[in-house]
Chains A and B, each alone.
Chain A
Amino acid sequence: MENSKDYLNQLEDEAIYILRETAAQFERPALLFSGGKDSIVLVHLALKAFRPGKFPFPLVHIDTGHNFPEAIAFRDYLANKIGEKLIVASVEDSILKYNLKETPGRFPSRNSLQTYALLDAIQDNQFDACIGGARRDEEKARAKERIFSVRDDFGQWDPKLQRPELWNILNGKIDKGHNVRVFPISNWTELDVWNYIQKYEIELPNLYFAHDRECIVHQDKLVATSDFIRPLPTDEVVIKQVRYRTVGDMTCTAAVPSDAATIQDIIDDIIVTRISERGQTRLDDQLSEAAMEDRKKQGYF
């Protein structure tokens, strides 16, 4: 156990270093904040990196319009508590502006539409770097990312053109119009994130802890009913004690049956689980075998 505590310090040092490098190398960075555990940890790291000074970047939320109300409430609460600027870019607005078509299907994901709102926010605010809470252990395309991931004018990721990134030398030199995505918690695993949350008693939305919820059973996954997902007469609807292992949109994140009420319970669950974080919960990743890679190529973070 001692080992893992030391290791958390190393991870934390690395992340703080990356945040400070970003502040130093870029003129107009932004921190992408969703109200989920990874971005909450990023905010906590930013507090460690910059306090007593203000953050040299605003928090930016790409609001799909399909978020859990609890996540939105937490987002506003946290931004207010720390006294930092929050910019909300609305996917609904992008849909109207560009006359975009919603993804068809029962559990429509607005992930691909998020990219428009993200790119617009980058354009409108002239952001040159976007800090995000993506981790390499989450997904196979994310496992391939650099810490500073260079994107072109369209925010597109070209895995064949990534730069060498030696030791901790982060190269943020970009041409005008290009953008860099920064991933300070690249080397953190799901367990590392939870151990860190436990160590610092970081506040989280209660979605992560066991609660009762009405869900539809869809292909072995539990999807909560809401304004966006109404049950059909043929659906099996249950009320179960569940928690959310990750927090994406309500329309494409599955809940997990669980009685984990404390952070230690959650950590115990993760240690024994045989299913990956996104495998158990993200309906949008399962659309195709390269779903995440395709989204990144279109400009997603």
Chain B
Amino acid sequence: MNTLKFITAGNVDDGKSTLIGRLLYDSDSIHTDQLGVLQQQTKQEGVDIDLSLITDGLRAEREQGITIDIAYKYFSTKKRKFIIADAPGHEQYTRNMITGASNSDLIIILIDARKGITTQTKRHASIGSLIGIKKAIIG
């Protein structure tokens, strides 16, 4: 297979954008100038760089600390190319999550262990299934 397109899903604040930020950071896919910008924008205390900001490209998203619409990120390893869709967790932005899910081969569903499975978790999981995504990673 040449490309893997995947989407992160789950409730608000369960860590979708942070996971993607971390993945991009660990695979050396964030450019130095982008890292610099992230550092400046990081508002969280005790945190050097808030990696979730890499996908939150809209001013409103950064100000409110939430994802509103899908952001697409691209990176490659030697074996394969990846397209990541970072989805919003809020119920009111579900239509945006569906857009990203429809073009994904894999869905990564994140659950905050402290909160357990929430309505949004279930909603995203069933959308993934309805859309026809065959593979899921639950984390």
Contacts and interface: CB of A to CB of B under 8 A. Distances in A.
Interface in A1-24: 3-4, 6-7, 10
Contact of B2 (A7, A136, A142, A274): A7
A279 B96 contact: no
Label chain B's interface by main secondary structure: mixed
A10 B37 contact: no
A164 B97 CA distance: 9
B114 interface: no
B87 interface: no
B98 A143 contact: no
Interface string B48-87: 0000000111111000000011111110000111010000
B32 A143 contact: no
B31 A275 contact: yes
B44 interface: no
Given A165-B99, A187-B83, A143 B33 contact: no
Contacts of B74: 136-137, 187, 189
Contacts of B71: 140, 143-144
B2 A293 contact: no
Contacts of A166: 98-99, 102, 131
B58 A280 contact: no
A143 B73 contact: yes
Nearest to A142: B57
Contacts of B60: 159-160
A10 B72 contact: no
A3 B2 contact: yes
Contact of A144 (B69, B80, B81, B131): B69
B95 interface: yes
Interface in A198-212: none
B58 A144 contact: yes
A139 B72 CA distance: 11
For chain A, which range describes its interface: under 10, 10 to 19, 20 to 34, or 35 or more residues? 20 to 34
A289 B41 contact: yes
A209 B95 CA distance: 44
A141 interface: yes
Interface string A121-134: 00000000000000
B90 to A, nearest CB: 12
A293 to B, nearest CB: 6
Interface string B1-42: 011000000000000000000000000000111100100110
A144 B95 contact: no
Interface string B106-137: 00000000000000000000000001000000
For chain B, which range describes its interface: under 10, 10 to 19, 20 to 34, or 35 or more residues? 20 to 34
A274 B32 contact: yes
Contacts of A280: 33
A187 to B, nearest CB: 7
A289 B37 contact: yes
Nearest to B83: A187
Contacts of B58: 140-141, 144, 159, 290, 293
A34 B55 CA distance: 28
Contacts of A187: 72, 74, 83
A4 B79 CA distance: 10
B72 A3 contact: no
Interface string B90-106: 00000110110011000
A161 B25 CA distance: 31
B70 A144 contact: yes
A279 B68 contact: no
B57 A144 contact: yes
A275 B31 CA distance: 5
Contacts of A80: none
Given A144-B71, A273-B31, 9 more contacts: A10-B2, A136-B72, A137-B72, A141-B58, A143-B55, A144-B58, A144-B70, A160-B68, A276-B33
15 contacts: A4-B81, A7-B2, A137-B72, A140-B56, A143-B72, A144-B57, A164-B98, A165-B99, A167-B103, A189-B74, A279-B31, A279-B34, A289-B37, A293-B57, A293-B58
